[in-house]
Amino acid sequence: MSEKRELQRQGFINFLRTIQKAGLPVESLSDSDKLVASGLVDSLAILQIVMYLENTYGINFSVIGFDPEQLGSIGNILDLIEREKP
């Protein structure tokens, strides 16, 4: 993993800690685990993730469109950041 991606990952993990439900440590998730299905976040938290990506990386979902799968896991989200903000 590149240093840049690792930093982005750490930033996103720190953000997840502020919105996650209590029962599951975020560290226990792999990058491919589903955020909602694992129980880490509420399904409506997807909106908070969108706002994080808009505010932190300037990704404009009204331009690129929205695909829930893109935000399904930590890995997918990091891929999205890399694609939109290389």
Partner 1 sequence: MLFDLSVGNLIEPVSGRRWDQPEISGQVTRRIARFQKYGLAPKDRVFLAFGNRLEFFAELLAVWRLGGCAIPIDSRLTAFEVENLVRAAAPGLAVVDDETPADIIQTLSAAGVRVILTTDIDAHESSASFIHMDSDALILFTSGSTGDPKGVVHTHRSLRARWMSLRDHLGTAAFRKTLCMLPTHFGHGLICNSLFPWLSGQDLYITQPFRPDLVMRLGTLIDENGITFMSSVPAIWRLALKLARPPQLGTLQRVHCGSAPLSAHVWEDIRRWTGTKNVCNAYGITETGSWVAGLADADVPAEDGLIGQGWGAVIQVLHTNDTSRTLEPKDRCAPGQSGYVWLNTPAVMKGYFQRDDLTSQAVIDGWFMTGDIGVLDDQGRLVLRGRERDEINKGGMKVFPSDIDAVVERFDRTNDVCTFALDDLIYGQNVGIAVVLQDRSDATICALYAWMKSHLSESKMPMRWWIIDEIPRTSRGKINRDSVKAACQDLVPLDLPGILGRAAS
Q: How far is CA 31 from CA 48, 58, 60, 66, in A?
A: 19, 22, 23, 20
| 4 makes contact with partner 1 (CB under 8 A) | no
Best CA proximity match to 16, nearest among 44, 37, 55, 45? 45
Supply angle C-alpha 13, 55, 5, rounded to 5.
Answer: 40
The reply to whether 13 sits near partner 1 by the rule CB under 8 A is no
Shortest distance, position 85 Cβ to partner 1, whole Å: 19
Q: Which is nearer to partner 1, 5 or 9 (CB)?
A: 9
Q: How far is the CB of 33 from partner 1 (least distance, A)?
A: 15
Backbone torsions φ then ψ of 73, nearest 5 degrees: -145, 165
Segment 48 to 67, residues that bind partner 1, using CB under 8 A? 48, 50-51, 61, 65-66
Of residues 28, 30, 58, 63, which one binds partner 1 by CB under 8 A? 28
